[in-house]
Amino acid sequence: MSQQSARVPAAPAQAPLRVGLVGCGYEGKCLATAAARTSTVDLVAYADPDTAALRSVAAVGPAVSTYSSVDALLDEAAVDAVLVATPSQALYPVSLAAIRAGKHVLVEKPIGLNAEEAAAAESEAARAGVTYMAGYSCRFSLARHVHDLIAAGLTGEVQAITAQFGCERLDRGWLASPETGGGPLLFLGSHLVDMVLWFAGDDPVEVSAHVRRRDDTGADDTSAFLVQFARGALAQCLVTQAASTFFYTVDVHGRAGRVTLRGWNFLEYEVEVRSTKGPAYADPTVIRPHIDRDHITMMLVPELDEFATAIAEGRPPSITAADGRRVLEVLDAVVTASRVGATVRVG
């Protein structure tokens, strides 16, 4: 498994990457705002079949070309790369269209509906020789603090992880329907599993699970699952839309120490550390990282900078297609394990 850190690079002295944005809903608007705050990308085109969404995003920055589809954008706009911020069911087909047009791609999590879509996008990007980055933006803020402490040896080799992600009921739009990638397992569980895999630093091999579904929508309501890793570590995970409010906790244990992440949104979170590796953390110590402006500045600006810098330097990005595929392999295994009532192999 790749252990490359999700670094936060300084803006390079290079010509901005010309990018098009496909998907102008909430996340698309956030990415457009992030693009306006960095010098590494130049957002020159938007695409969305919803004209109101197009107008809303166009108000964020300088006037750019607008299109009703990804095909029209690819045919007419001079772009080097495409940012894909559509609902989950469109992430794979839109990414595939951009890859086949020879464009670099940054695609929002979970990058597809399942591992089969992710593997196909990974293969196509390799064949086309383009950069493909999975948009797990938590790695640039809240997850980075935990990963840095683990990398510094404060836990020792990770032995166990407990992790939870919760939200209120998902009742509207594509987030409510399993056919469109709705439900918290994909929506939130993708972030949770990405963190767990990154922190464990090992390959997941087996999953057991129980998924409770909603009677009205058929979407997952609450999912509890156990992931076993190749070197023996275990991760116990819970994802739910039955919570009273949005929250997340990730608790990482090793023989040398413990690191706990607790959060109430993407700007309010804290990290608690206790470790036998030196006196600094001999007693439980709570770290509240500095928050700069908003989640767009904290998470999406460094994500865009990393994407553009990786392309300029001709190297893989810090979050690869393979990373995104592994997340979906685990989530696919959760669904299968719950359905068959037995432990299943990952992938």
* 108 and 162 belong to one structural domain: no
Residue 192, SS3 per DSSP: helix
Could you tell me if 307 and 269 lie in one domain?
A: no
Q: Kindly state whether residues 156 and 274 are assigned to the same domain.
A: yes
In this structure, are 68 and 184 located in the same domain? no
CB atoms within 10 A of CB 251: 17
Q: Which residues make beta-bridge pairs with 66? A: 46
Say whether pLDDT at 308 is over 90: yes
- The reply to whether 293 falls in a domain is no
Strand locations in 234-298 (E): 234-240, 247-254, 257-263, 269-275, 285-287
- Residue 258 and residue 191 share a domain: yes
Whether 40 and 109 share a structural domain = yes
pLDDT at res. 62? 76
Percentage, residues of the chain above pLDDT 70: 96
For residues 183, 186, 188, 192, the Cα torsion angle rounded to the nearest 10 degrees is 150
Q: In terms of pLDDT, which residue wins out, 296 or 278?
A: 296
Does pLDDT of 4 surpass 70? no
Chain segment 79-90, per-residue pLDDT in tens: 999 999 999 999
In angstroms, rounded to a whole number, what is the distance separating the alpha carbons of residues 11 and 312? 11
Q: What percent of the chain has pLDDT over 90?
A: 91
pLDDT digits (tens, 9 = 90+) for 245-277: 999 999 999 999 999 999 999 999 999 999 999
Check which CATH number belongs to the domain holding 219 and give it: 3.30.360.10
| Residue 6: per-residue pLDDT | 53
Paired sense of beta strands 158-166 and 247-254, if any? antiparallel
Name the nearest CA neighbour of 61 among 31, 89, 40, 83: 31
Task: Judge whether 336 lies within some domain.
Answer: yes
Number of separate domains in the chain: 2
Domain that holds residue 265: 142-288+327-345
Average pLDDT taken over every residue of the chain:
94
